[in-house]
Amino acid sequence: MNTEEVKGTLSNALKKNLLVKIVIVALIIIVVLWVLFSIKDYGKVNLIISNEEITSDSQPSVFKFSENDKVYFYIDRNIKSTLDCNTVAVVIDYYENNSYSLYKQITFEIDKKFKYLSTFIPQQYFSRAGKYQIKILLDGKLMATKEFEIEK
């Protein structure tokens, strides 16, 4: 082998080596970005409200209810498999005087292994037409909020 053949072989080997390193770095960057975007949703709460019983987390929320509707809600965690809390507080705020103020609160004591919580709030809690807001607190930490309206 002459010198030029050796240089060509080394050059090709260096190019292949460099290309492999670039591909590995690109894959690492992609994995790191995917993890970062996934982590931001980890543990967040999915809150659905509806005027009919909610059977899965794929149902859409309803934002206008009639006066006689029951307000159903469903909560579960994004990515996490359980609610991982001891208490779930459902805080109902009523809109008056240009702001929301505390109206009612319902607290559930649950097992940490509950995958979701789904129930309804009695009609009597929404005796006044107007705007309401539901806040979900897990072990006292605010996790989700939805606004809706009760119409006459």
Count helices and strands in the chain by DSSP H and E runs: 1, 8
For residues 100-105, give the mean pLDDT: 94
**pLDDT score for 103:** 93
17, with CB counted inside 10 A (0-12, 13-18, 19+), is exposed
CA dihedral 124, 128, 129, 130 (to 10 degrees): -110
Backbone φ/ψ region at 79: left (φ over 0), alpha (ψ -120 to 50), beta: left
User: Alpha-carbon distance 141 to 14, whole Å?
Assistant: 55
In terms of average pLDDT, the best of 34-43, 119-128, 137-146 is 137-146
Give yes or no for residue 1 having a pLDDT over 60. Answer: no
- Judged against a pLDDT cut of 80, whether residue 130 lies above it is answered with yes
CA–CA separation, 27 and 39 (whole Å): 18
Average pLDDT over every residue of 66-95 = 90
* Average predicted confidence (pLDDT) for the chain: 86
Q: What is the pTM of this model?
A: 0.70
Strand-pair partners of 116: 76
pLDDT at 5 exceeding the cut of 80: no
